[in-house]
């Protein structure tokens, strides 16, 4: 089997001749073969259609018009549906302009009236093959160009994603205690979105949404770059004013990403990251911050990240708290169903919480203490 057009170009052109008159078929085949082409012969349209899909496929078909089983016009239509590049020269003893026009309208390259001179046939075949090779070259060029554009697009996407995670890691680096928090957040968020897809949210959660949540979730705390170290790294409880300053990271992060979106119009891949940064501390009952929005007014991606962030906070060690075990995380998240968290998200979490536990074990901080259970 031929694997590419470049390989096919090294072989003699394949020409298929179709005629229900055996003597005419033999004469045409011998004449075309003398031109240096590989010739295949068929006595009717059905046989010709079968041969036209065999590799290597014919570059050009010379077909009679009037044939039993399948006439030349029907064969022409079917061949063109299989490959528009294949050239077809129709031959007929009937000088009927209506049939000529119909054949040309259906894509025939030329139409010869019997009897014709061999030179007339030769010229039609050579011109038809020139057109075939031109179309094949154009198609090969188009496909190669598409591959190049796809490769460049993929490289740009990878560069963009790398820049996003680098930015998130830079913000995270100010708090060395968070360890692999961003990696876990990305994995938790993707896991939860995938589980939610199996429920009533399914139609809204395509694979693109899930991938975008995975890539955008690490930017949820990007606003912490604007929080003073004295507050961000304070080991003990925060005062009321300090807590207010700490909570401002949601607005700082959202505003920062919003300004980028407004500056570089048309680049919408940061929209979800902006929604997450603004709203991942909002609560289902409206008691969250910074805007106190509730229910489905909170963007879905932010609701997903809020639950993922809570699970990681519960199961991770901090200077002011121990790391609690997986069962305690389930208990607390279930307790806060319809208050802190979207009820549907909690239900989805119930179906996939074992995957959360596996992610936690795989991306465990080396310095973490053993989790504490709560009696």
Q: Any idea where the domains of the chain sit in the sequence?
A: 5-146, 173-362
Same fold, 5-146 and 173-362: no
pLDDT below 50 — which residues of the chain?
1-9
Q: What is the pLDDT of residue 349?
A: 96
Residue 246: exposure state from Cβ atoms within 10 A (0-12, 13-18, ≥19): middle
CA–CA separation, 297 and 340 (whole Å): 14
Q: What is the pLDDT of residue 187?
A: 95
Q: What is the pLDDT of residue 141?
A: 80
Helix (H) or strand (E) holding 193: helix 181-197
Class at the top of the CATH hierarchy for domain 173-362: mainly alpha
Q: What is the pLDDT of residue 155?
A: 60
- Full-model pTM: 0.59
233 backbone dihedrals φ, ψ, rounded to 5°? -105, 10
Q: What is the pLDDT of residue 257?
A: 86
CA–CA separation, 82 and 265 (whole Å): 43
Q: What is the pLDDT of residue 374?
A: 58
Q: What is the pLDDT of residue 193?
A: 95
Mind listing the pLDDT tens digit for each residue in 53-101? 888 899 999 999 999 889 999 999 999 999 889 999 999 888 888 888 9
Name the pairing type of β-strands 60-64 and 110-113: unpaired
Q: Would you say domain 5-146 falls under CATH 3.30.2020.10?
A: no
Q: Strand pairing partners for 113?
A: 92
- Percent of the chain residues past pLDDT 90, beyond the cut: 54
Residue 7: exposure state from Cβ atoms within 10 A (0-12, 13-18, ≥19): exposed
Q: What is the pLDDT of residue 174?
A: 56
Q: What is the pLDDT of residue 147?
A: 78
């Amino acid at each position: 089997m031929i694997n590419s057009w470049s390989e096919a170009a090294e072989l003699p052109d394949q020409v298929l001749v179709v005629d229900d008159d055996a003597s005419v078929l033999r004469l045409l085949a011998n004449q075309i073969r003398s031109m240096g082409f590989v010739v295949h012969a068929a006595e009717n349209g059905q046989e010709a259609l079968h041969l036209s899909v065999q590799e290597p496929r014919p570059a050009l078909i010379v077909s009679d018009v009037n044939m039993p089983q399948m006439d030349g016009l029907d064969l022409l239509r079917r061949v063109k549906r299989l490959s528009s590049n294949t050239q077809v020269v129709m031959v007929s003893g009937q000088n009927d302009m209506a049939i000529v026009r119909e054949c040309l309208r259906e894509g025939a390259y030329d139409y010869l009236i019997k009897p014709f001179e061999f030179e007339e046939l030769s010229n039609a075949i050579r011109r038809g093959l020139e057109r075939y090779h031109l179309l094949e070259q154009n198609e090969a060029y188009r496909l190669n160009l598409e591959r190049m554009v796809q490769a460049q697009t993929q490289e740009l996407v990878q560069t963009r994603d790398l820049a996003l995670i680098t930015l998130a890691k830079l913000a995270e680096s100010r708090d060395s205690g968070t360890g692999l928090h961003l990696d876990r957040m990305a994995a938790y968020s993707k896991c939860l979105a995938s589980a939610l897809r199996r429920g009533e949210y399914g139609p809204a959660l395509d694979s693109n949404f899930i991938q975008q949540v995975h890539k955008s979730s690490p930017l949820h705390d990007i606003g912490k770059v604007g929080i003073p170290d004295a507050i961000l790294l304070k080991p003990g409880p925060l005062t009321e004013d300090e807590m207010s300053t700490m909570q401002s990271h949601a607005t700082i992060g959202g505003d920062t990403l919003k300004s980028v979106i407004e500056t570089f119009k048309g680049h919408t891949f940061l929209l979800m990251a902006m929604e997450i940064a603004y709203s991942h501390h909002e609560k289902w009952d409206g008691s969250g911050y910074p805007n106190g929005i509730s229910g489905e007014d909170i963007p879905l991606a932010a609701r997903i990240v809020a639950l993922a962030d809570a699970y990681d906070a519960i199961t991770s060690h901090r200077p002011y708290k121990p790391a609690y075990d997986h069962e305690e995380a389930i208990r607390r998240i279930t307790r806060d169903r319809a208050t802190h968290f979207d009820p549907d998200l909690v239900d989805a979490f119930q179906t996939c919480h074992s995957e959360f536990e596996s992610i936690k074990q795989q991306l465990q901080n080396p310095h973490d203490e053993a989790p504490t259970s709560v009696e």
